[in-house]
Amino acid sequence: MMPITTDTEETRYAAMDWSLLLRLLRYTLPHRRLLLPALLLLPLAALIQFGQPMVLQYAVDHHFVTGNMNGFGGLLALFLLLIGLQFVIGYSQSLLNAVLGQKVIHDLRADLFAHLLSLEAAFFDRHASGRLTNRLSNDSEAISQMIGAGLINLIGDLLLLIAIVIGMLLLSPPLTLIIALTMPLLIVSTLLIARRMRLSQRDGRLLQSRMANLLTEEIDGRDVVQLCQRQSHNIAEFDQLNRGYLNAAVVSNFYEALQVSLVEAISVTMVVLLFWYGATLMDDPGAMASGGVTVGILVAFIDYIRRLFMPIRDLSGKFTTMQAAMTALERIFELLDTPATFGDGPQTRPELSSRVRHGAITLRGVYFGYGQDPVLHAIDLDIRAGERVALVGATGAGKSTLIALLNRNYEVSQGEITIDGVDIRALPLQRLRRLIGVVQQETFLFSGTIADNISLYDPAIAPQRIRWALEQVGAMSFINTLADGIHTQLTERGNNLSSGQRQLLGIARAFAFDPLILVMDEATSSVDSASERLIQQAIDRLLQQRTALIIAHRLSTILDADRIVVLSRGRIAEQGQHEALIQQNGLYAQLFRLQFGQDS
C-alpha cells in the first residue's frame, strides 16, 4: 500500500494563526447583520444554561424538601420558559451560523474564482487542476464548517463553561473543587484521543484525494484503459485505496466513539461520587449544614455536570475542525496572494488602442523561458499586415511559445512585441485578446448550446451574426439536421458532435469575433479527409484580409504561405517561401523530405 504520511498539502494541518482568522473576519464584516445577532445570542444562551439548574435547586430546597408548594406553579412556568427560550435561541444560532458561513464562503469562492482567471498560464503549468478545484470545493467547505459549527460555537462553549463554573462556585465551592480535581484527567485524555483522531482523519483525507485523482484519470483516459485492458489492474488499485480509506475511517470512528464514551463514563462517575458525598452528608445533618450542601445543591450540581461535559466534548471535535479549516485558510489565502503578473497596469495606455488597425506584428530581441533555461533566443521577426506566415520546426522548437507570448498568456523575459508599432503590454488585455483569434487543433466546447459556444455569451455578438458565422463555415448543413438547431445542448467538451463538427464550430467562433490577427494551430490535423476539405475551405475564407500565423505540423498545409519561418531550438533558423527554402537545402528541406520522402 502507498505510504500516507508524506507531508503534502493534503496532509499538513496548520496551527492556530490569528492573522489568518483576522483576515477571514474581514469577509464576515459585510454580513454584520448576521454576525452581530449570532454573537449577541451567545451570552444569552450561556445565561439560560446557567439559570436552569439554579431554578431546580430552589425548587428542591424550598418546595420538595419542605413540602411547601406555594409558588411552585410560577417556578415551573419559569423553568418551562427557560426551556422554550433555549430552543428558540439554539435554533436561531444554528440558522444564523449556517447562513453566515455560506455567505462568507460565497464571497471567498467568488474572489478565488476571479483571481484564478487573472493568473498567467505559467501558474497553471505549476499547479495541478485537481488541487485548484479542491480549493474551491473541499477547502471552502472546511472554512464554512468552521464558521457555521466551529468558530462562533467555540466562543459559545467557552462562555457556557464560564457560566457553569460560576454557578457551581455560587452553590458550593467545596463541591466545585472536587470536580476540578478530576478535570486534568479528562482534558489530557480528550486531547490525546483528539490527536489520534486527527491523524486518522488526515490519512483519510489524503486517501480520499488519491481516489478522486484516480477516478479523474480513469474518466479522462477511459479509451486507453479499455484498449489496453487495464480494468482489472485499475480496479485493484482503486480497491487498495478504498480499503485504506475504510481503515482510516474506522480508526477515526473508533477514537470518536472512545471519546464520547470516556466523557460519558467520567460524567457518570462524578454523578455517582456526588450521590455518595451527599449520602454521607445525609447521615450527618450537622456536616451537611456546616458544609452548606443541600439536596437541591446536589441536584443542581448533577445538572451542571451534564451541561459541563457537553461543551468539553464538543471543544475537542471543534479543535479538529478548526485545524482543518486553518489549513484550508492557509492554502486559500496563499492562492489569493499569488500575484497576477500580467494584465492592465501602469504601463497600459488605452488611448493607443485606436492606433492598432492593420495587424502588422514585430518582435524585437524576444527572449523567454519557462524556468531558468531560455526557450526562445533573440527572436527578431517582422510580419506585414495581411501576411500569412507559417511557423514550422521540430517539437519543442518554440512555435506554440511564440504564439503564447503574442496573446500574453506569458510575458516576454526580454525584448518586446508590437502590433502596428504599439507594445502589446500597453494595450488593455481585453482589447489585445479581442484582436487575436485562435483556432486550435481541437476546439474546446463548453456545456451549453451551439449558439452560446459561438458567442461565448458576448452581448456584442447578435444571433444574426452567430448564424452568419455558421453559414460561412458550412456548419448549418449539419446543424439544421439537429432537432433544436443552434439551440442544441452540447455535452461536456461537445462530445455529442464529431471532431470535424467541433472544428467547424471553432472556426465559426473566430468568424463571429472577427479578429484582426488569426492564429491557426493545424486545425485539420485530427479530422477525416471529407471534413478536412470542408474545414480548409472555411479557413481560406477566414484568412482573407487578416494577418495570419499558422503553426504547421503537416507541411502540405502551408505550401502557399507568404512566408515560412523555421524555428530550431528557440531560434529562427530560416525563413522564406517554400520553393526558396527547398533550394537552400537547409533544415526546412530536411523536414520536407522526412515527411514526403522526396528530394524536391
Q: What are the tens digits of pLDDT across the range 250-279? A: 888 888 788 778 877 887 888 787 777 766
Residue 4: the pLDDT is: 44
Residue 385: the pLDDT is: 93
Residue with cell 514550422: 392
The reply to whether 401 and 509 lie within a common domain is yes
| Separation between Cα atoms, residue 194 and residue 367, nearest integer Å | 54
Helix (H, G, I), strand (E, B) or coil at 457: coil
Sheet holding 563-568, edge to edge: 436-439, 517-521, 547-551, 388-392, 563-568, 571-576
Q: How far, rounded to the nearest angstrom, does the alpha carbon of residue 139 sit from its chain's CA centroid? A: 7
The reply to whether 552 and 587 lie within a common domain is yes
Does residue 250 belong to any structural domain of this protein? yes
The reply to whether 363 and 415 lie within a common domain is yes
Residue 1: the pLDDT is: 41
Residue 467: the pLDDT is: 92
Helix (H, G, I), strand (E, B) or coil at 343: coil
Residue 599: the pLDDT is: 47
pLDDT per residue over 392-443, tens digit each? 988 888 888 898 899 888 888 899 999 999 999 999 888 898 899 888 878 8
399, 385, 383: which is closest to 520 by C-alpha? 399
* Residue 106 burial (C-beta neighbours within 10 Å; 0-12, 13-18, 19+): middle
Provide the residue count of the chain: 600
What's 91's domain CATH number? 1.20.1560.10
Does residue 541 belong to any structural domain of this protein? yes
Mean pLDDT of the chain: 82
pLDDT per residue over 339-373, tens digit each? 776 667 677 888 888 899 999 999 999 999 877 77
The reply to whether 473 and 361 lie within a common domain is yes
What's 448's domain CATH number? 3.40.50.300
Quick one: residue 476, left, alpha or beta (phi over 0 = left, psi -120 to 50 = alpha)?
A: alpha
> If you write DSSP's letter for every residue of 394-435 in order, what string do you get?
STTSSHHHHHHHHTTSS--SEEEEEETTEEGGGS-HHHHHHH
Does residue 297 belong to any structural domain of this protein? no
Residue 132's pLDDT band, with cuts at 50, 70 and 90, is: confident
Residue 475's pLDDT band, with cuts at 50, 70 and 90, is: confident
Helix (H, G, I), strand (E, B) or coil at 439: strand
Does residue 7 belong to any structural domain of this protein? no
The reply to whether 334 and 364 lie within a common domain is no
Q: Which three cell numbers stand for residue 443?
A: 476546439
Does residue 307 belong to any structural domain of this protein? no
pLDDT per residue over 298-308, tens digit each? 888 888 888 88
Cβ atoms of 251 and 198 closer than 8 Å:
no
Q: Which three cell numbers stand for residue 68?
A: 411547601
Does residue 1 belong to any structural domain of this protein? no
Residue 332's pLDDT band, with cuts at 50, 70 and 90, is: confident
Cβ atoms of 465 and 472 closer than 8 Å:
no
pLDDT per residue over 75-109, tens digit each? 889 989 999 999 999 899 889 988 888 888 889 88
How many structural domains compose the chain?
3
The reply to whether 492 and 588 lie within a common domain is yes
Residue with cell 492606433: 355
Residue 5's pLDDT band, with cuts at 50, 70 and 90, is: very low
Does residue 285 belong to any structural domain of this protein? yes
The reply to whether 485 and 570 lie within a common domain is yes
The reply to whether 229 and 186 lie within a common domain is yes
Range of the domain at 188: 173-292
Helix (H, G, I), strand (E, B) or coil at 6: coil
Residue 129: the pLDDT is: 65
| Separation between Cα atoms, residue 214 and residue 203, nearest integer Å | 17
The reply to whether 167 and 178 lie within a common domain is no
Q: How far, rounded to the nearest angstrom, does the alpha carbon of residue 587 sit from its chain's CA centroid? A: 46
The reply to whether 364 and 438 lie within a common domain is yes
| Separation between Cα atoms, residue 378 and residue 415, nearest integer Å | 8
pLDDT per residue over 50-61, tens digit each? 999 999 888 888
Does residue 192 belong to any structural domain of this protein? yes
The reply to whether 364 and 435 lie within a common domain is yes
pLDDT at residue 515 tops 80: yes
Residues whose CB falls within 8 Å of the CB of residue 483, separated by 6 or more in sequence, listed in order: none
The reply to whether 138 and 218 lie within a common domain is no
